[in-house]
Amino acid sequence: MRILLDEEGYGWDEAWYIVTHTIAYTNHTVLAEALERWPQQLIEKWLPRIWQILIEISNRYQRALTDYFHGDLSKVAPMAIIWGGEVRMANLCVCACFKINGVSALHSDILKRDVFHDAYARTPDKFTNVTNGIDHRRWLSECNPELDALIRDCCGKDKYLLQPDALKELEQYRDDAGVLSRLGQIKADNKKAFAAWVARESGVILNTDALFDVQVKRLHEYKRQLLNVLHIIYLYQRMKADPHFDFTPRTYLFGAKAAPGYAVAKRIIRLINSVADMIARDPACKDRLQVVFLENYRVSLAEKLMPASELSEQISTAGKEASGTGNMKFMMNGALTVGTLDGANVEMHDLLGDENMFLFGLRADEVEQLKREGYVPQRLYNRDPVLHRCLDALRTGFRDGVRYDDLYQRLLFGAGGSPADEYFLLADFQAYCQAEKRMAETYRDQTAWNRMSLHNIARSGVFAADRAVAEYADNIWHVPHK
């Protein structure tokens, strides 16, 4: 608007027409802290001309809302652009953009049903969905050359690079012993290559005979790295209590970065390292259980890790993850998924069925119902001795002398204005343990595991960015494409 008004000489109505027929809004999150709200005084002081334009947009929009909702401020206030001394950037986008999309089917439904409910009721034609996609040429062909060679042999030389749906042709080899064996060998080779890289970088020796169980993503409580850690503590306690515990050896690999001011996320990273240290120094865990926090998680590391991963942890609280793209990269490289029905996991499940991934936990609607009914995590703690022991381990501390009373308190009683167990870790704990058990039992049959892996790769073409960009081009931008 500033450029069109001040530099191009358009009048307000002409400029507003251009803006509102040119700009579309992709929402990437339902988290309140990411739907930016800026202090009014900050913009007034440092961006005075922008402030003038914002005031005009806001006043016109608010008048339209007031007319539409017949003066009902309970409807107008949450949708206003400037209200209570704040400038609400998401509401500005909803006002000014001609299309609004989420990045997975579930996420887009939540935008309509909850985050922008009244805006959707007023302008339903604005709202649509474009599920995220990833560049399969980078995240499969370039970073996993052995798998790329297998796909070329099975699906035609270069076909899948420009037609990712051609990956479906792999399904005809689901009972081909040679192809399944080769797929297993590719994964084993990638594990060894990654282990060699880790050894060079950090001196840590990974057990490549163990299942590589991986959770790499931004560190946030809703992504529930802490749930993963609690399960590892359970396995360790079980192993110590029962030397004959029948256990599928596992190497847990974590990678994450925390926002600079996110103290709880940093504490969870510290906890992962405390647990890793305890397990590394216990002879009972040798060749059976290993935990490694990978330093400086980044794209170049991910390009080495994704091909080596066997299990993908996608365990966010249902309704919180907009889409995820790591889940797609893992799937495309043949890792199986243990996860909730959240974000694009929902669409992955639609493609794969129950038999080709390990689902667990509350659905998004069940999470909301539990909130309404009044969730009391202390009850789970008091009646579940396994959970009780895992949480108590946070209080008693680990070999390095660090205790995590703060995380214990946060889960059971809440802290800093957050409710107890805000992301329902304890509610999903038993279901998660059962999903991990099913996964470990499946892993023992490598032919069955490789068949599931092949099926995941074959169905992953829909998550290529080619499809996502084509949907934007066809349904939002209305531009031609090949």
What residues are annotated to the active site? 28, 217-218, 223, 325, 329
C-alpha–C-alpha distance, residues 143 and 199, integer Å: 19
Phi/psi at 219 (nearest 5 deg)?
-80, 110
- Residues 6 or more apart whose CB falls under 8 angstroms from that of 102 comprise 26, 27, 108, 109, 110, 111, 129, 130, 322, 323
Instruction: Tokens for 161, please give them.
Output: 């690079």
Sign of CA dihedral 408, 409, 413, 418: negative
In 3D space, the residue among 323, 327, 347 whose CA is nearest the CA of residue 336 turns out to be 327
Candidates 226, 19, 11, 28; CA nearest to 110 is 28
- Dist. CA 216–CA 356, nearest whole Å: 21
Give all strands of the β-sheet with 82-83 in edge-to-edge order: 37-39, 86-88, 82-83
Using the structure block, give the residue that is written with the tokens 């909130």.
371
Q: Which residues pair with 289 in a beta bridge?
A: 250
Count H helices and E strands in the chain, helices first: 24, 12
Residue 274: which residues within 8 A CB-CB, separation 6 or more?
A: 397, 398, 399, 400, 402, 404
The percent helix, strand, coil of the chain (3-state, each to 5) is 60, 10, 30
- Among all chains, which residue has been given the structure tokens 């539409």? 68
H helix intervals, 47-144: 48-68, 73-79, 89-96, 105-110, 117-122, 136
Q: How many residues does the chain have?
A: 482
Residue 412 CA to chain centroid, in angstroms? 25
Rg (CA), the chain: 25
Q: What is the DSSP string of 308-363?
A: G-SEEEE-PPTTT-S--SHHHHHHHTT-EEEE-S-TTHHHHHHHH-GGGSEE-S--
The token pair that represents 273 in the structure block: 């390292």
Query: Which strands form 127-129's sheet, in the order they lie side by side?
Result: 25-26, 100-102, 127-129
